[in-house]
């Protein structure tokens, strides 16, 4: 089981690296550090999220009906996405009401990038266990991993 968890962490980090590389495809080469940073953050957050992923898997394994199991994972995804929107709106509300608006463009850009970084980390902490549970279930079903 520990091997499957480690493989799922690596797969998630690779997926995040590929996604962020696609996001910054048209930028210059100095932006390559961004996918690396977010991949390391994803890998680091995947260790505590394994606990929640195991709980998600245990609940899913208790469901015998395949249709109910699919509904469980779909409803869980919808609930997590709503939670992500709530986190986003709370942070945007805090930013609009409590952070002083900067006068210069670069200050606004710095605060905006910091805000996006915080939002990314919080949303990743919420959604990561779900995707890790999905990857672990796929690996359990289709991969033959020797101990």
Write out the DSSP string of 76-111: HHHHHHHHHHHHHHHHHHHHHHHSPPPSSHHHHHHH
Number of domains in the chain: 1
Report if residue 26 sits inside a domain. Answer: yes
Q: How far apart are CA 82 and CA 72, in angstroms?
A: 15
Maximum alpha-carbon separation in the chain:
59
Residue 141 has a pLDDT of: 83
* Per-residue confidence band for 40, with pLDDT thresholds at 50, 70 and 90: very high
Residue 120 has a pLDDT of: 84
Q: Which domain holds residue 76?
A: 2-142
Report if residue 147 sits inside a domain. Answer: no
Residue 112 has a pLDDT of: 76
Residue 143 has a pLDDT of: 76
The average confidence (pLDDT) of the chain is 84
Report if residue 40 sits inside a domain. Answer: yes
Report if residue 14 sits inside a domain. Answer: yes
Report if residue 98 sits inside a domain. Answer: yes
The residue-averaged pLDDT of 110-135 equals: 85
Report if residue 71 sits inside a domain. Answer: yes
Contact by Cβ (8 Å): 131, 9: no
Report if residue 79 sits inside a domain. Answer: yes
């Amino acid at each position: 089981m520990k091997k499957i968890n480690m493989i799922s962490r690596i797969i998630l980090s690779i997926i995040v690296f590929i996604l962020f590389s696609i996001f910054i495809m048209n930028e210059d080469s100095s932006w390559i550090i961004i996918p690396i940073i977010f991949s390391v953050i994803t890998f680091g957050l995947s260790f505590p999220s394994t606990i929640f992923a195991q709980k998600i898997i245990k609940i899913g394994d208790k469901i015998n009906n395949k249709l109910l199991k699919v509904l469980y994972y779909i409803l869980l995804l919808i609930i997590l996405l709503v939670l992500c929107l709530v986190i986003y709106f709370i942070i945007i509300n805090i930013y609009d009401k409590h952070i002083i608006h900067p006068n210069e463009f670069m200050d606004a850009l710095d605060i905006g990038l910091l805000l996006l970084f915080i939002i990314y980390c919080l949303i990743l902490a919420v959604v990561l266990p779900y995707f890790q549970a999905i990857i672990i279930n796929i690996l359990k079903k289709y991969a033959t991993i020797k101990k």
